[in-house]
């Protein structure tokens, strides 16, 4: 996977990033903003929304300290599996909403653990202070 060089222009636009618990069998452009504009309900540390009639429960997650999330767009499809893929950065983010189907996210969820891993890895593998 190769990344083109990119320049981030500060436009003030902050994208709303949602990680949904579904698989969409479409591989192409979609005007998601026209179809997924959730009316989120916040109650006692619980975020809920309905998507296509199904209840979702979510949690806002932040990228680990020192990390930035990237939304990548493929420049062109490779002709074969042997060809390298070239992508460009279409947006950046520092937090996103992680949604589960009907149950709230927990610390046992892979995505939640992945966001905590860099800090844990640094604590385990970083320098040890002599006390």
* Joined tokens for residue 83: 């060809």
**pLDDT at position 12:** 59
The rounded radius of gyration (Å) of the Cα atoms in the chain is 18
**pLDDT at position 101:** 94
Residues 50, 37: Cα–Cα separation, whole Å: 11
Residues of the chain scoring pLDDT < 70: 1-13, 35-36, 131
- pLDDT digit string (tens) for 48-65? 988 888 899 999 999 999
Residue 105, number of CB atoms within 10 A of its CB: 20
Looking at the chain, the whole-number percentage of residues with pLDDT higher than 70 is 87
**pLDDT at position 1:** 47
Question: If you search the block for the tokens 């990237």, which residue do you land on?
Answer: 70
- CA 129 to chain CA mean position, Å: 34
What element of type H or E holds 48?
strand 46-51
Report if pTM > 0.75.
Answer: yes
What element of type H or E holds 114?
helix 110-125
**pLDDT at position 111:** 96
**pLDDT at position 64:** 95
Residues 41, 48: Cα–Cα separation, whole Å: 5
* Joined tokens for residue 113: 């653990």
Fold of 2-21+34-124: Lipocalin (2.40.128)
């Amino acid at each position: 996977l190769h990344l083109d060089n990119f320049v981030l222009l500060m436009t003030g636009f902050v994208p709303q990033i949602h990680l949904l618990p579904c698989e969409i069998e479409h591989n192409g452009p979609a005007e998601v903003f026209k179809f997924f504009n959730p009316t989120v309900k916040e109650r006692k540390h619980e975020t809920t929304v309905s998507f296509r009639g199904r209840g979702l429960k979510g949690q806002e997650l932040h990228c680990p300290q020192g990390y930035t999330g990237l939304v990548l767009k493929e420049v062109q499809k490779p002709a074969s599996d042997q060809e390298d893929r070239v992508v460009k950065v279409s947006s950046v983010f520092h937090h996103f909403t992680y949604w589960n189907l009907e149950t709230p996210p927990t610390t046992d969820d892979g995505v939640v653990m992945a966001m905590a891993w860099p800090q844990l890895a640094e604590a385990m593998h970083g320098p040890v202070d002599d006390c």
